[in-house]
Amino acid sequence: MANDMYYIGANDEHGVQPPTPGKRTPVVPGLDRQIYENEFNRAAKNSFIEACLRQGFSVYDVKPELYDVSIDERVRRINRQNLTALVTFAYNAYGDSFNSASGLEVFYSPSNPQASESRRLAEDMYEELIQGTSQNGRGVKTLDVGVLSSVNCVSALIEAGFMTNLREAQLMINPLFQTEVGEEACHGVCNFLGVSYLPRNNLSNYPLLRRGSDNNFVFLLQFILNQYGNNLTIDGIFGANTERAVRTFQQNNGLSVDGIVGQNTWRTLLNLPPYPLLRRGNSGAYVTFLQQLLESYLIPVGTIDGIFGSRTENAVRQFQQDNNLAVDGLVGNNTWNALVNNL
C-alpha cells in the first residue's frame, strides 16, 4: 500500500528570539552570542520533513512560522488534521550556565488517548536516535504537555540534548547533527509503521526529475528548494516555477543549467559527499554548509551567506591550525574529513 496513506505531523518548539529565558544557550565562547533553541528545533524538523517526504509520507508542518505559536493554537491545528503520528523537536536546558548535564531523551504522555502507541513510537525513535547519533541516552520518559497529552493522535517529543552543555550547544548548529536527528526520527517512525526506511545518502534512491514529473520526490525537491530561499507551492508538480528554481540553483552552484534534477543536482541540494574543493571566491550550497560547520566549531565566519570571502578563509585557516592540518585556506579532502568527523 502506498506510504502516502500515512499523515505525519512535524512540530518545532518555540521560535526565533523567544522573550522567555531557558530557550537559548549561555553566551557561547568564540561566537560571542547565544544560540536560540529554535535554531536547532526548526532545522531538525525540516530534516525530518525531508526524510518523511522521501519515504512518500504525507506531511503536515504544524508551525511553518518562524515566530512562536501558542501550544493551544498548535493543538487546535493538529487536532483538525487527523494525523497518523506527530513528532516534536526540542532541546533541553539545566540551569543558566554551561555545566555537565547532557544526553538525549524522548517523551510521550500517558494522558494521550493512544498512550501505548505513543510510547511505542517514542521507543522506536529513541532506539534509532541512540544508534545514529553520538548522544548519551537518557531514556524514554513521560511528560504531560499539550502537544503530547491534548492531541488526538500518536505523539512523541525529542529533547536532543542540553543547550547548557557546551559540546551539545555546538551540536545545535551543526548541520550534520541537525540532519541526523531528523533522519533517525523518521527511521523510528518507519519502524513504528512497519515500512522500510529509504536512506538519505544513497543517490540511487533519487529519481531523475524534469518538467512534467509529478511523483513523491517532486514534493521533496520543492521543499528543499524552498530551504534555499524559494517560495514554491509544494504541490508535487514539476511545472515552470519549479524548473526556474532548479535552473537558478544549478547556475548558483556551478552545475549544468538544464532544469533537470539528476544525481549531481541532488548531491548538491543535499550537501552529500564527495565534497568539492573550495577556496576563496567560491559560492553556493557547499560554502553555506562549510560555514555552518565552522561555526559549530566555535569559529565565526561572519554572515552565513554561501560566499567564500576573507572571513571564511580566515576561519578555515584557524580550523586547519587547530587540527594540525596544512594551513592553506583551501578546503580539500583532509579539511573536509576533519570537519565532518571530529565534532
How far is it between the farthest Cα atoms of the chain?
A: 59
- What pLDDT is attached to residue 1? 43
Compute the CA torsion angle 191, 193, 199, 203 (nearest 10 deg).
Answer: 160
Using alpha carbons, list the distances in angstroms from residue 195 to 3, 188, 327. 8, 10, 47
Which stretch of 7-21, 23-37, 197-211, 277-291 has the lowest confidence by average pLDDT?
A: 7-21
Residues 32-59 pLDDT 10s: 999 999 999 999 999 999 999 999 999 9
In the chain the beta strands, taken as DSSP E runs, fall at 7-12, 58-61, 85-92, 104-108, 137-142, 154-162
Residue 306, domain CATH: 1.10.101.10
Residue 18, domain CATH: 3.40.630.40
265's grid cell: 543536482
Quote the pTM value: 0.97
User: Above 70 in pLDDT, residue 343?
Assistant: no
Containing domain of residue 329, as a range?
285-341
**What Rg do the C-alpha atoms of the chain give, in angstroms?**
20
- Both 19 and 154 in one domain: the answer is yes
Which stretch of 10-19, 197-206, 310-319 has the lowest confidence by average pLDDT?
A: 10-19
- What pLDDT is attached to residue 342? 73
User: Above 90 in pLDDT, residue 2?
Assistant: no
Both ends of the chain: CA-CA distance in Å?
41
- Both 51 and 179 in one domain: the answer is yes
Q: Which DSSP helix (H) or strand (E) runs through 130?
A: helix 115-132
- Both 106 and 28 in one domain: the answer is yes
Residues 53-99 pLDDT 10s: 999 999 999 999 999 999 999 999 999 999 999 999 999 999 999 99
In 32-70, which positions are buried (b, 16+ CB within 10 angstroms) versus exposed (e)?
eebbbbbbbbbbbbbbbbbbbbbbbbbbbbbbeeeebbe
Question: Which of 226, 247, 270 is the last residue in one of the domains?
Answer: 270
- Both 226 and 258 in one domain: the answer is yes
Asked whether residue 318 is domain-assigned, the answer is yes
136 and 96 Cβ atoms separated by less than 8 Å: no
Query: Model confidence at 18, in pLDDT bands (50, 70, 90)?
Result: confident
- Both 104 and 163 in one domain: the answer is yes
Nearest by Cα to 319 from 307, 305, 335: 335
Total domains present in the chain: 3
Using CA of residue 125, residue 129, residue 131, residue 136, what is the dihedral sign?
A: negative
- Both 129 and 235 in one domain: the answer is no
User: Above 50 in pLDDT, residue 291?
Assistant: yes
Cα separation, 86 vs 155, in Å, equals 5
- Both 50 and 185 in one domain: the answer is yes
- Both 111 and 188 in one domain: the answer is yes
How are strands ordered across the β-sheet holding 137-142?
A: 58-61, 7-12, 85-92, 154-162, 104-108, 137-142
86 and 106 Cβ atoms separated by less than 8 Å: no
Question: Which of 165, 193, 221 is the last residue in one of the domains?
Answer: 193
Q: Cα 35 vs. chain centroid, distance in angstroms? A: 16
Asked whether residue 305 is domain-assigned, the answer is yes
What mean pLDDT is predicted for residues 183-201? 98
Compute the CA torsion angle 163, 167, 94, 27 (nearest 10 deg).
Answer: -60
Neighbours of 272 (CB within 10 A): 15
Cα separation, 313 vs 323, in Å, equals 15
DSSP 25-48: PSPBTTTTBPPBHHHHHHHHHHHH
- What pLDDT is attached to residue 187? 98
Average predicted confidence (pLDDT) for the chain: 97
Residues 152-168 pLDDT 10s: 999 999 999 999 999 99
Asked whether residue 257 is domain-assigned, the answer is yes
Asked whether residue 128 is domain-assigned, the answer is yes
User: Above 60 in pLDDT, residue 183?
Assistant: yes
Asked whether residue 52 is domain-assigned, the answer is yes
User: Above 50 in pLDDT, residue 126?
Assistant: yes
Query: Model confidence at 16, in pLDDT bands (50, 70, 90)?
Result: confident
